[in-house]
Amino acid sequence: MNLSKLSTLAAAVAAVATLSATPAHAGKTIDAIKARGQVICGVNPSLPGFAAADSQGNWTGFDIDICKAITATLLSDVTKVKWTPLNASQRFAALQSGEIDVLSRNTTWTLTRDASLGLNFTGVTYYDGQGFMVTKKSKITSAKQLKGATVCVQSGTTTEKNLADYSKSMNLNMKPVVFETQEATNKAYFTGRCQVYTTDASGLASVRNKEATNPADHVILPDLISKEPLGPSVRRGDDEWFAIVKWVVFALIEAEEYGITQANVDQMKSSTDPVVQRILGTSEDTGKLLGLDKDWAYRAIKAVGNYGEMFERNLGPNSTLKLPRGANNLWSKGGLIYAPPVR
> Which pLDDT belongs to residue 163?
97
Burial 77-106 (b: 16+ CB within 10 A, else e): ebebbebbbbbbebbbebbeeeebbbbbbb
Query: Does some domain include residue 212?
Result: yes
Quote the CA–CA distance of 44 and 50 in Å, as a whole number: 8
Domain co-membership, 186 together with 217: yes
Domain co-membership, 72 together with 138: no
Which of 226, 251, 267 represents a domain boundary (last residue)? 226
Parts of the chain with a pLDDT under 70: 1-25
Domain co-membership, 275 together with 218: no
Domain count, the chain: 2
Domain co-membership, 175 together with 211: yes
Query: Does some domain include residue 77?
Result: yes
Quote the CA–CA distance of 125 and 232 in Å, as a whole number: 8
Query: Does some domain include residue 42?
Result: yes
State the pTM of this model: 0.90
Which of 175, 199, 226 represents a domain boundary (last residue)? 226
Supply the range of the domain harboring residue 99. Answer: 28-127+230-325
Domain co-membership, 117 together with 239: yes
Query: Does some domain include residue 22?
Result: no
Strand partners, 83: 41
Neighbours of 129 (CB within 10 A): 17
Domain co-membership, 67 together with 211: no
Which of 226, 243, 262 represents a domain boundary (last residue)? 226
> Which pLDDT belongs to residue 241?
98
Query: Does some domain include residue 122?
Result: yes
Query: Does some domain include residue 341?
Result: no
Residue among 106, 33, 114 nearest 73 (CA): 33
Contacts of 311 (CB under 8 A, 6+ apart): 62, 325, 328
Domain co-membership, 294 together with 315: yes
> Which pLDDT belongs to residue 27?
83
Quote the CA–CA distance of 312 and 293 in Å, as a whole number: 29
> Which pLDDT belongs to residue 17?
44
Query: Could you tell me the CATH number of the domain that includes residue 279?
Result: 3.40.190.10
- Taking CA atoms, 204 is separated from 10, 157, 201, 224, 287, in Å, by 59, 14, 5, 12, 39
* DSSP state at residue 84: E
Domain co-membership, 175 together with 63: no
> Which pLDDT belongs to residue 1?
53
> Which pLDDT belongs to residue 281?
97
Query: Does some domain include residue 205?
Result: yes
> Which pLDDT belongs to residue 13?
45
Q: How far apart are the first and last CA of the chain?
A: 34
Query: Does some domain include residue 120?
Result: yes
Domain co-membership, 180 together with 119: no
Domain co-membership, 121 together with 269: yes
Domain co-membership, 123 together with 134: no
Quote the CA–CA distance of 274 and 254 in Å, as a whole number: 13
Domain co-membership, 134 together with 220: yes
> Which pLDDT belongs to residue 16?
44
Q: How high is the mean pLDDT of the chain?
A: 93
